[in-house]
Amino acid sequence: MAVGLTVATGDTLVRMRLAALRHSLRDQNKVSWIASGAFVGLVLAGGTVWLAVRGDHDVVAVAIAVWMLGWVVGPLFAGGGDETLKPEYFTMLPLPPRALSGGLLAAAMAGVAPVVSLLALLSLAVVGAQLSVVAVLVSVPALLLQLLCFVLASRLAVAIYGVLLQIRSGAVLAALVNAFILAFTAQGWALIAAYITTDVQGAMAQAARIAPSGWGLVAVEAAGRGDWLRVLLALAGLLLLAAVMFVAWSALLVRRTTATRSGVQPRRPLTASDARGAAAGKELRSWTRDLLYGHRAVFAIAYGVFFCLMPIAVGWKGMLPWAGAASVVMAGAMFANLYGADGTAYWSTLMVPGSSRFDIRARQRAFLLVFGPPALLITVLFTWWSGTDTWPVVLSVVPALLGGAAGLVVLASVYAAVPTTDAHKRSGNPLNSGENEGEAMGLVYVMLVLISLTAVPALVVALPAGWWGVPVGLATGVLAWWGFGRLAVARLDARGPELLTLLRHGRTTGDQASVTSLSAKMQLLPKWQRHLAGACLGFGAIPLFPQAVVPAVFKLNDNPAKVWFLALYAPGPWQWPIIVAMACLGLGMYGYGASVYYRASKLKLPAVDSPDADPPGEGAMQPAS
């Protein structure tokens, strides 16, 4: 009976999941994201199979471990993963926890990511084909069980992460783990280079086989040797691991859908005597009591530290002085949607006449108070540790970035607010903040670039003139803090009710039309132009920043490190021409992508007759008789 109910539930939820996927394909933005992710996944899956074809089983073990790691940590950076079917939707149905968990697991298997991972796991079948026919037969249950463990590990990780974010120490721990993983995606080349140039490859391969991600490969290799005891142990281990993770996930789903939130007694009432003090007290309480605020703050600071620490693995300390600056840039990007995070709580501010200026300035002061001291302390300590003579440059850049971030954060929050789930309506998965995750991530990427640009004046002066860049950086930071804040106040005074409507109801039909009209106009252009423009905007930063700006800074500071910068490996006379060429290439890519979108915006959409339109000559309303 229980098995039949689980199968029926799974069938229904799978059909619901596939129907939701079909409907999502009507959104061109989602189609682009899905297509891009599928393409990258297929390339990586093909690379994994190619490693198996080469017969390098040690590298295959490490590659499969990386796949499982991606399943565990990927959803933590993608809004809690795909939760089209949230467990909260089914709380009123008389379903046992195991039946609901089994149905949700079956629905999770119906997607693009599991199919791509299954293709990557075909590398086990390739390894088996190189050993024996029996090994090929063993590879079939091995890769299916491995895929099941991938999906269950992903779901369990998200569930555990949601529990951690409900306690302060757990939120800090999760932030540190996420920061390290994201920094590894950007600076992992240093650790990989250290791995390749040392004798730890064998140890890594052995560790990958011992980990659950390697048990399928162990079973296939053991079948090729005729070691049936190890085959049974490996397959039984995968099956037992899947069962344990399923039971644990089911228990956490029960906790998520049945836990009650008890009221919290205020520890200390607000005792401000004026509007400025009240706004400051309210904002500081948001930073100290909202665990998502604390999580993101720790993440931003830890990311800057990890990002600049990893190159030490290859003996390069040149990134250490920039840890504080990297933390500030990431912090500004993470908090670029303050009013969107507030949601309908903004109503209490809007109803107080003249409160916009106090609220904006309070948010700016809180941002500087939270990130200013850590950024300056990290900058001083790491610059001293690096032993480089970069004091004028970093002490010029950090104040400019702090002021620029404090100004741009509030400006973006009022001009480009993204509606998210209200704090009191958050589900058991705090990572999932609504249906606008893609728009929120786009805002983060834009802010990374804009905040970095605020340091350009200080950098231009500090590189040739040394300490003269410090007053320029201070002036730039103060002007950005004051000017952008003033613009945000004016916008909030003029469009406060519209902002509240957006946060409460989401985008109206007119807003959605303005957002999607550009996408519709882009469809009028040839497909190759659309794809080329997207590629240029997505990858233009690679030649511009790491291959032009950074090596130029190295050249001006006589830094002998070459690392992975192409220009620094060329003969001396050719280094500056290559740097200039890379800068022109990056700017050209951005320029071409922007020009394509600009030309598309000037196009006119063809008129479409609505089937619901009134017949010619007839009004929408007829006079009453």
Residue 303 has pLDDT above 80, yes or no: yes
- How much is the average pLDDT of 276-288? 78
Q: How far is CA 304 from CA 179, 254, 403, 534, 556, in A?
A: 8, 37, 18, 28, 23
Question: Is the CB of residue 320 less than 8 Å from the CB of residue 386?
Answer: yes
Is residue 615 one of the residues assigned to a domain? no
Question: Is the CB of residue 67 less than 8 Å from the CB of residue 154?
Answer: no
Q: pTM of the predicted model, to two decimals?
A: 0.65
345 and 488 co-located in one domain? yes
Question: Is the CB of residue 506 less than 8 Å from the CB of residue 513?
Answer: no
Is residue 608 one of the residues assigned to a domain? no
Give the pLDDT of residue 605. Answer: 66
Alpha-carbon distance 332 to 402, whole Å? 9
Single-letter amino acid, residue 343 = G
Identify the residue with better confidence: 181 or 307: 307
Count of the separate structural domains present in the chain = 3
396 and 501 co-located in one domain? yes
Is residue 559 one of the residues assigned to a domain? yes
Give the pLDDT of residue 189. Answer: 61
Give the pLDDT of residue 379. Answer: 93
Q: Give CA 239 to chain center in angstroms.
A: 32
Give the pLDDT of residue 2. Answer: 59
Highest mean pLDDT among 7-11, 149-153, 197-201, 611-615: 149-153
182 CB-near residues (< 8 Å, 6+ apart): 77, 303
Is residue 610 one of the residues assigned to a domain? no
The answer to which of 40-49, 80-89, 373-382 has the lowest mean pLDDT is: 80-89
46 CB-near residues (< 8 Å, 6+ apart): 119
What percent of the chain clears pLDDT 90, i.e. is strictly above it? Answer: 21
What is the per-residue pLDDT across 408-455, written as a single tens digit (0 to 9) for each? 999 998 988 887 766 666 655 555 555 555 566 667 878 888 898 899
Give the pLDDT of residue 232. Answer: 93
Domain hosting residue 594, numbered range? 512-603
Give the pLDDT of residue 625. Answer: 35
pLDDT-derived band of residue 28, with 50, 70 and 90 as boundaries? low
Q: CA nearest 307: which of 372, 316, 447?
A: 316
User: SS3 for 564?
Assistant: coil
- How much is the average pLDDT of 169-187? 77
Highest mean pLDDT among 75-89, 185-199, 281-295, 400-414: 400-414
- How much is the average pLDDT of 24-41? 70
Give the pLDDT of residue 244. Answer: 92
210-238 burial, b if ≥16 CB within 10 A, otherwise e? eebbbbbbbbbbbbbeeeeebbeebbebb
492 and 367 co-located in one domain? yes
Is residue 271 one of the residues assigned to a domain? no
Give the pLDDT of residue 239. Answer: 93
pLDDT-derived band of residue 612, with 50, 70 and 90 as boundaries? very low
Q: CA nearest 543: which of 570, 578, 574, 572?
A: 578
Domain limit, last residue, from 506, 531, 553: 506
Give the pLDDT of residue 497. Answer: 85
Kindly report the average pLDDT of the chain as a whole number: 78
What is the per-residue pLDDT across 96-145, written as a single tens digit (0 to 9) for each? 777 777 778 888 887 788 889 999 999 999 999 998 899 999 999 999 99
239 and 298 co-located in one domain? no
Domain limit, last residue, from 485, 506, 527: 506
Alpha-carbon distance 300 to 335, whole Å? 10
Compute the 3-state secondary structure of the chain and give helix, strand, coil in percent, each to the nearest 5. 80, 0, 20
517 and 497 co-located in one domain? no
Alpha-carbon distance 283 to 366, whole Å? 7
Is residue 611 one of the residues assigned to a domain? no
The answer to which of 195-204, 367-376, 600-609 has the lowest mean pLDDT is: 195-204
Q: CA nearest 77: which of 249, 246, 303?
A: 303
420 and 531 co-located in one domain? no
500 and 351 co-located in one domain? yes
What is the per-residue pLDDT across 317-374, written as a single tens digit (0 to 9) for each? 888 899 999 999 999 988 988 888 777 777 878 888 878 888 899 899 999 999 999 9
The answer to which of 133-147, 273-287, 505-519 has the lowest mean pLDDT is: 505-519
Give the pLDDT of residue 78. Answer: 56
Give the pLDDT of residue 167. Answer: 73
How many CB atoms lie under 10 A from the CB of residue 402? Answer: 29
140 and 19 co-located in one domain? yes
200 and 51 co-located in one domain? yes
Residue 297 has pLDDT above 50, yes or no: yes
Give the pLDDT of residue 195. Answer: 58
The answer to which of 2-6, 136-140, 229-233, 602-606 has the lowest mean pLDDT is: 2-6
324 and 348 co-located in one domain? yes
234 and 291 co-located in one domain? no
Residue 156 has pLDDT above 70, yes or no: yes
The answer to which of 270-284, 443-457, 475-489, 550-564 has the lowest mean pLDDT is: 550-564
Domain limit, last residue, from 222, 256, 290: 256
Is residue 97 one of the residues assigned to a domain? yes
Identify the residue with better confidence: 165 or 222: 222
Residues in the chain: 625
517 and 502 co-located in one domain? no
Is residue 108 one of the residues assigned to a domain? yes
